[in-house]
Amino acid sequence: MAKNKMNWILVVLALSLILVGCHERDVRLEQLTDQEKVMFEYLQENHSAIHLEDEDAFADLAILDADIKDKEIFLTGELHGVKANEELHMKFLKYFKDRTDFRYYLSESSYSFCHFINRYLETGDTKILEELYKSAKGTFAWTKEGYNFWKLLRKYNNSLSDDRKIRIIGVDIEHQVDTAYKYLLDVLPSNEPPKEISEKINGLRGALNDIEDDVVLCRAQELLKDMEEKESLYRKYLGDDFIGFKLVNLNILNVHEANSKKAVRYIGIIPEIE
């Protein structure tokens, strides 16, 4: 593929960003493992302070210029719950856009969340943001800065021509089940489904009224089984939304699996009580 036709991608994942500097006084080399020493020594030689007061100036990120040349995927990261995260997101986003003109922003958010974020970016309807953040209440994502980031991104996106606008793609599992079900309902065609799959499809229409864990798990398992057994019918009925529909339902199951593994891990570190 010709270089000027490549679709560039910006990936934002939780990788504990350390590019903002190393604090030598807080680190004693003798306390580090050999692997940590290698990382620390590398960062000593390869770091740059980031100046957030001017998100459109990129001299402080020039340290990355040579590394991103001819690359298509770029990773940045964050430490959850830090107020500066959204400022860093916007700084990096503008930097990578300026240097590579990427088109797709893979966010550490669910597929369903980003489906509605893209709609907000297109329409400017703040009710969409309000609903998303209402569902995220109590999580690290539920911040004023996170909410405002999407508003700033929409403003920036609107400064770009249609063929350069950024689209958001969610790569996380479905932590907010109500948002997942809103997505499944949103992409359903207006016409009636084939009778062979109507029970499962129409059963989703009342899903938001019952999102207890056991019910959600059972419903998602049954739907996935039905989709696998009658894939051609679902593909024909859902069209281009088939993959997203199946992915979101699968990630409703994946969040249950992830949470159960977390529970096992946390239990494993609880000290014995005599």
Structural domain including 17 reads 3-172
The answer to whether residues 158 and 202 belong to one domain is no
The answer to whether residues 144 and 16 belong to one domain is yes
DSSP 8-state assignment for residue 148? H
The answer to whether residues 33 and 85 belong to one domain is yes
Q: What is the pLDDT of residue 27?
A: 55
Residue 274 lies in a domain: no
* Domain final residue, candidates 172, 197, 212: 172
The answer to whether residues 160 and 188 belong to one domain is no
The answer to whether residues 135 and 155 belong to one domain is yes
The answer to whether residues 135 and 250 belong to one domain is no
Residue 273 lies in a domain: no
| Separation of alpha carbons 245 and 201, rounded Å | 11
The answer to whether residues 152 and 193 belong to one domain is no
The answer to whether residues 53 and 23 belong to one domain is yes
Residue 177 lies in a domain: no
Q: What is the pLDDT of residue 34?
A: 86
Residue 261 lies in a domain: yes
| Separation of alpha carbons 141 and 170, rounded Å | 14
pLDDT tens for the chain, 274 residues: list them: 334 434 445 544 333 333 333 344 455 667 788 888 888 888 888 878 888 877 778 988 898 999 898 888 888 877 777 777 888 899 999 999 999 999 999 999 999 999 999 999 999 999 999 999 999 888 778 889 899 999 999 999 999 999 999 999 999 999 999 999 999 999 999 999 999 999 999 989 888 887 787 889 899 999 999 999 999 999 999 999 999 999 999 999 998 888 776 555 444 443 443 3
The answer to whether residues 165 and 191 belong to one domain is no
Write out 33-82 in H/E/C secondary structure.
CHHHHHHHHHHHHCCCCCCCCCCCCCHHHHHHHHHHCCCCEEEECCCCCC
Residue 229 lies in a domain: yes
* Domain final residue, candidates 146, 172, 198: 172
Tell how strand 73-76 and strand 167-172 pair up: unpaired
The answer to whether residues 79 and 125 belong to one domain is yes
Q: What is the pLDDT of residue 251?
A: 95
pTM over 0.95: no
The answer to whether residues 162 and 199 belong to one domain is no
The answer to whether residues 50 and 134 belong to one domain is yes
Q: What is the pLDDT of residue 207?
A: 83
| Separation of alpha carbons 55 and 187, rounded Å | 36
Domain total of the chain:
2
